[in-house]
Amino acid sequence: MPQLRKDPIIGRWVIIATERAKRPKDFKIIDSSPPEKECPFCFGKEDRTPPEVYSIKDNEGKWKVRVVPSIKPFLAGNHGLWKKGKGPYDLMNGLGKHEVVVECPQHIGNMADLEVENIRDVFFTYEERIKEIEKDENIKYVLVFKNYSWDAGGGRVKHARSQIIATPVNLKRVKEELEGAKFYFDYHERCVFCDMIRQELSQKERLVLDEDGFVAVVPFAPRFPFEVWVLPKEHSPDFYATPYDSLYPLANVVKKVLMRIKNLLNDPPYNYVIHTAPFRRPHRGYWSTIEEDFHWHIEIIPRLTKVAGFEWGTGFYICPSLPEEAAKFLRET
Amino acid sequence: MPQLRKDPIIGRWVIIATERAKRPKDFKIIDSSPPEKECPFCFGKEDRTPPEVYSIKDNEGKWKVRVVPSIKPFLAGNHGLWKKGKGPYDLMNGLGKHEVVVECPQHIGNMADLEVENIRDVFFTYEERIKEIEKDENIKYVLVFKNYSWDAGGGRVKHARSQIIATPVNLKRVKEELEGAKFYFDYHERCVFCDMIRQELSQKERLVLDEDGFVAVVPFAPRFPFEVWVLPKEHSPDFYATPYDSLYPLANVVKKVLMRIKNLLNDPPYNYVIHTAPFRRPHRGYWSTIEEDFHWHIEIIPRLTKVAGFEWGTGFYICPSLPEEAAKFLRET
C-alpha cells in the first residue's frame, strides 16, 4: 500500500511508492535508450492492460482513446483514508487514482504526430475523467501530465499516452501557484495570469502563438530552455470546464507547439502538465477568491539539458537560453 | 551579462544564463557519457583555468585544494546591483560569484575515494570562501554543491570538484526551509532539525551513521531513493561556523556515506548540497529567530531514477523505495 509522508520541515507531501519498492541492485543507471518491448497499448492488445475505465469509440465501435488503471499505481483505493502522526512526523495512506490515457490505437509515439481531432478527443477524455474523479470526496486534486520518451520518464514503449493522478492532498507547486495568484489578486483585484497574457500580447517578444482563444508563450522567467505555456485567453480556473467547442482550437495550438518543438529541437523528450484549480470541497473554506484569481494552463517542458544537480536542492533554476530568443525560434520555425 | 528574473506568480527567481545562451542546434540529447577530454584540473595544468582565488598548500608549496572562478559563470560581478520592473515583471542583474573548488591535485573523480584529510581540507576551503564572500554586502546567500558524474550534471571531466554560487537573493527551497523551521519553532520553541535528530536517534530505523557529533539519516519523507542527510548533532545554523576540529569527523561521516552509496549502488551519479543559514544583513530584520531555529545540513542525492516528469511541474515527488529499507542497506553494507 503506497504511503503519503509529509516532510516535517517544509511540509511537502511525498509519495512513498512501496508497490515499486526496489532493492539497490534494481537501480541501474541506463545511459542509452533500451530496446522497445512489444507494445501493450496498440489496438488488438487490450488484454495486455487492466480493463478500461473509459473510452471514446468511432462509429464502428473501435476505440480511439482509452483509459486504463496503471498496473503499478502510485496511489490506489477510494475508501478508508487515514491520517496519523508518528513522533514528529505525519503520514496518510496513499489513497487516490492513477490512470493511463492511451491516446491512439495506432503505434505513434509523439502527440505532435496525432491529428488535431485525435488530440481534441484526448483533452475531452481528460475532462470526462476529472469530472468522474471529482465525485470522490476524498480527492482534492487531479493532475494530468505526459512524459514523452525515455529521458522524460516516458518508459520503454513509444506509444502516445498520458497519465492522470488523483491525490488526497494539494500538490506543493500547485498550492504555491494558488497562493501566489491569490496574493496578487488581493492586491490588484486582477488575475495574474490574465495580466501576464495581456502583457505578452502587447509586448509580443515572448509570444509563440495567438489563435482562436488560446495563447502559447515562453514565460518571462522559465525554468527550462524552450519551456512553453499554453493558456486560454478568457479567464477560467478549471480545465475541465472548457467547452467542447474550444477543445479543437486548444488541440490545434498544442499540436503546433509540440510540432515546432519536435522540428526545432530534433524530437526531444518532453513533459507537459495541466495546472487546474483544485476541487472546491465545501468543508474547505480557503481559496475564497479562486474563481477569480486562478487560471488553468498547460506547461510544456522540453528536456534538453542534463539537470544541473543543485536545482534539486535549492529550487533555484538556471535557464541557459534567453526566453525572447526561444520564443522567436518557436514563432518563426 | 546574466539576469535574474522573478516568476510573477510564485515569486521564484530564475537565473537566465545569457553567457551560455544557446541556439536550438546546440541542444543535443546525449544518451551516453561522452569521452573524457584532457583534464584541466590536474596538478601541472594550472594555466588551463582562470587564476586561483584560494588554495591550501602542502609543506612543499604544492596545492592540495584549489578554488578558481568558473569559466562560464552563472553569476558574476560585485558592484552595481540594479533591480527594475518591466511591465508586471521583476528583474535584476546577475550579480554574484560562481567558483569551482578543485578537490585534489591527482585525477580522482569521486569524493568517496579521497582521504578523509583531503575531504576535511575541502570543507575547510568551503568555510574560508564563505567567510570571504560574506564581506560583499550585496550577497545574501552562498550555496555549496557538487555534481558528480555526467548524469548528475557533472560535466565531461572526471576530476573531483564542487561549486560555490553566491547570490543576491535568497533561494526558494532554502527560504521554504527557513520559513518551515521558523513556523515549527514559533509553535514548539524547539528546532525542528534537533527534534528530527532526537527522533531518528531513538527510533533508529532510518539512521545510517552516528559518529563523533554527526548523524547521517535517510529522511522520513525523502524525494529520492537512498537520499541521505548529514547533520551536526549540536545545534548550529551556520556551516561555516563549524570548528576546525569538527571538520575531520564531518569529513569521515561524509566519506563513509559516499563510499557506501558507491559500493551499494554501483558508483551512481550523485549531487550534494549544503544548506546553511543566509547571511544576517543588518538592514534585513526578518528571520529574527534564525540562530535558534535553523540547523545546517548536507543533503546527498544519488541520481538513480529517470526523473518522472511531473515532479518538475508539481513539486510532488514519488520515491520508489522505502526509507527504512534504504537506511538498513546503507547501515549494513
Whether B84 has its CB under 8 Å from any CB of chain A: the answer is: no
DSSP H/E element including A162? strand A161-167
Q: What is the pLDDT of residues B252-291, one digit of tens each?
A: 999 999 999 999 999 999 999 999 999 987 655 456 678 8
The backbone torsions φ and ψ at residue A190, rounded to the nearest 5 degrees and listed phi first, read: -140, 155
Q: Do B305 and A7 touch (CB under 8 A)?
A: no
Kindly list the domain boundaries of chain B, sorted by start residue: 3-332
Mean pLDDT of B41-49: 95
Instruction: Give yes or no for a contact between B70 and B51, defined as CB atoms under 8 angstroms apart.
Output: no
A188 pLDDT above the threshold of 70 = yes
Whether B205 has its CB under 8 Å from any CB of chain A: the answer is: no
Partner B, chain A 280-319, Cβ-Cβ below 8 Å? 299, 301, 303-310, 312-319
Mean pLDDT of chain A: 88
Most confident of A280-289, B14-23, B227-236, B276-285: B227-236
B31 pLDDT above the threshold of 50 = no
* CA–CA gap between residue A112 and residue A261 (Å, rounded): 9
At B171 the pLDDT is 79
B170–chain A nearest CA distance, Å = 9
* CA–CA gap between residue B66 and residue B57 (Å, rounded): 9
Residue B70 CA, chain-centre distance (Å), reads: 16
* Sign of the dihedral through C-alpha B301, B307, B309, B310: negative
* Residue of B17, B193, B306 with shortest CB distance to A319: B17
- Considering only residues B310 and A75, tell me which one the structure prediction assigns the higher pLDDT: A75
Mean pLDDT of A19-34: 62
B-chain CB neighbours of A29 within 8 Å are 151, 266, 268-269, 303-304
In three-state secondary structure terms, A85 is strand
Mean pLDDT of A119-134: 97
Least confident of A48-52, B35-39, B84-88, B223-227: B35-39
- For A120-136, the DSSP string reads HHHHHHHHHHHHHHHT-
Q: Do A167 and B316 touch (CB under 8 A)?
A: yes
What residues are paired with A317 via a beta bridge? Answer: B14
- ipTM of this complex: 0.85
Model confidence at A31, pLDDT cuts 50, 70, 90, reads very low
* CA–CA gap between residue A194 and residue A201 (Å, rounded): 11
- Which residues are CB-neighbours of A37 under 8 A, at least 6 positions away? A156, A157
At A71 the pLDDT is 87
The three cell numbers of residue B83 are 533591480
A-chain CB neighbours of B223 within 8 Å are 14, 312
Mean pLDDT of B220-224: 91
Instruction: Give yes or no for a contact between B12 and B172, defined as CB atoms under 8 angstroms apart.
Output: yes
* CA–CA gap between residue B131 and residue A91 (Å, rounded): 40
CATH class belonging to B3-332: alpha beta
Q: What is the pLDDT of residues A282-333, one digit of tens each?
A: 655 456 678 888 999 999 999 887 665 567 667 778 888 899 999 999 999 8
* pTM attached to this predicted model: 0.90
At B194 the pLDDT is 96
User: B110: how many CB neighbours lie within 10 A of its CB?
Assistant: 17
At A210 the pLDDT is 98
Residues constituting chain A: 333
A269 pLDDT above the threshold of 70 = yes
Q: What is the pLDDT of residues A37-54, one digit of tens each?
A: 689 999 999 999 999 999
Q: What is the pLDDT of residues A156-170, one digit of tens each?
A: 889 999 999 998 888
